[in-house]
Amino acid sequence: MAYFGFSAAEETESAIIEERKKEGLLRSGFVAILGRPNAGKSTLLNALTGEKVAIVTAKPQTTRNRIAGVVEVPARKGAHPAAQIVFVDTPGVHKPASHLDRRMLQEVHEALETRDLVLVLMDASRRVKLEEAAADGAEEGRTKAPSWASEDEFLFGLIRGLDCPVFLVLTKIDLVAKDQLLPLIQRLTQQYSFAEVIPVSARKRDGLDVLLHRIVEKLPKGERYFPKDQYTDQPQRFMVAELIRERILVETGEEVPYASAVVIERFEEPEPTARRKGGQTRLPLTRIAAAIYCERDGQKAILIGKGGSKLKEIGTSARKQIESLLGTRVFLELHVIVEPGWRESRSFVESLDWRNQLEKLAEKQSQEVQEEPEEE
């Protein structure tokens, strides 16, 4: 408003200059989240972003691709300016057995290529238990190398020689007695010189602020990599496939979760005009068809269940999650396809990566455009 001879235009202009100044001070960077399967990587990513960016289950190797979760951290007076942190969740680090495993490890390496900082996550509750068991064994005169020695070696091998800060993040501390934490930290810091050691509980949201602030202190000055309101790099289409896969992981047992893959075959977003029908406000409808791949007939039978009951269960619970992600009603069609030994097939595993799927979709679209007859 134009009081005191100060025009609205001037006011906006000074606001813009102010905003620019702040942007100039902004810090930004990529932070890779590393750790063995089940360390709590995806749970931490979701807790930090406040969104369900990555699926989480109690089963190891839930995450297959690297996934970015974007967090905006406000400035802290006297400490640091505002920042955008791009966290990159990775598949758990484990010795690869199948081609799928090797691909997952490649995702870890790719996340490590572009990073300003690395978080090594370690499940404190598991480690404390393992160390207790080893101590009991030692009392009884057993002198085997501890069961986690080769795990550590594999993990530390990945970070050795990195020219960026590496933080040790001890996870799930809600499950550990406080007096056990300090000795554990002392032992671990003797093994590797971490820039920081930060105990957290993603479940209780404990230690998350400290973690964010320590990260921002170490980030370089830079512009945002993502728009302010974008919280992940994954397209919705892929998040939908992941939500279906999460239900499979939860609802099935034995080999089935590991031998399953989900591919979205059709994703029809509602017409913007479909928002209102007959004067009523009804949520629009997204139509989705997905294929669930498995490796054997027996797995297919498990996925379908008696009279289709299992597939129905998976479909219903996935649909609810997808509806809350998309904010529309969802019509979800699922079918199961046997693709023998797909985990060993390089081309199949490659085709599952959403980055490759996006490329294929773009190619298909441009072909369709070219095939359309030119208008006179």
Ligand X SMILES: Nc1nc2c(ncn2[C@@H]2O[C@H](COP(=O)(O)OP(=O)(O)O)[C@@H](O)[C@H]2O)c(=O)[nH]1
279 class by beta-carbon count within 10 Å (0-12 exposed, 13-18 middle, 19+ buried):
exposed
Cα–Cα distance measured from residue 46 to residue 356, given in angstroms and rounded to the nearest whole number = 24
Helix/strand/coil for 156:
helix
What is the smallest separation between the CB atom of 123 and ligand X, expressed in angstroms?
A: 7
- Tell me if 125 contacts Mg ion by CB under 5 A: no
Radius of gyration of the chain (CA): 24
Say which entry of ligand X, Mg ion, none residue 202 contacts (CB below 5 to 8 A, set by partner kind). Answer: ligand X
What is the smallest separation between the CB atom of 228 and Mg ion, expressed in angstroms?
A: 26
What is the smallest separation between the CB atom of 62 and Mg ion, expressed in angstroms?
A: 5
Say which entry of Mg ion, ligand X, none residue 252 contacts (CB below 5 to 8 A, set by partner kind). Answer: none
Cα–Cα distance measured from residue 106 to residue 65, given in angstroms and rounded to the nearest whole number = 9
Helix/strand/coil for 65:
coil
Say which entry of Mg ion, ligand X, none residue 171 contacts (CB below 5 to 8 A, set by partner kind). Answer: ligand X
Pick 35 or 81: Cβ nearer ligand X? 35
Binding to Mg ion by CB under 5 A, coded x per residue (else -) over 169-188, reads --------------------
The answer to whether the CB of 28 falls within 8 A of the CB of 225 is: yes
Q: Name the residues that contact ligand X, by CB under 6 A.
A: 35, 37-43, 56-58, 62-63, 92, 171-172, 174-175, 201-203
What is the smallest separation between the CB atom of 39 and ligand X, expressed in angstroms?
A: 4
- Could you say which of 42, 49, 171, 357 contacts Mg ion (CB under 5 A)? 42
Pairing of strands 285-294, 261-268: antiparallel
Nearest residue to 122 via CA among 66, 29, 189: 189
CA 25 to chain centre: 28
What is the smallest separation between the CB atom of 47 and ligand X, expressed in angstroms?
A: 8
Interacting positions 45-84 with Mg ion (CB under 5 A): 62-63
The answer to whether the CB of 45 falls within 8 A of the CB of 53 is: yes
> Residue numbers of the site for Mg ion (CB under 5 A)?
41-42, 62-63
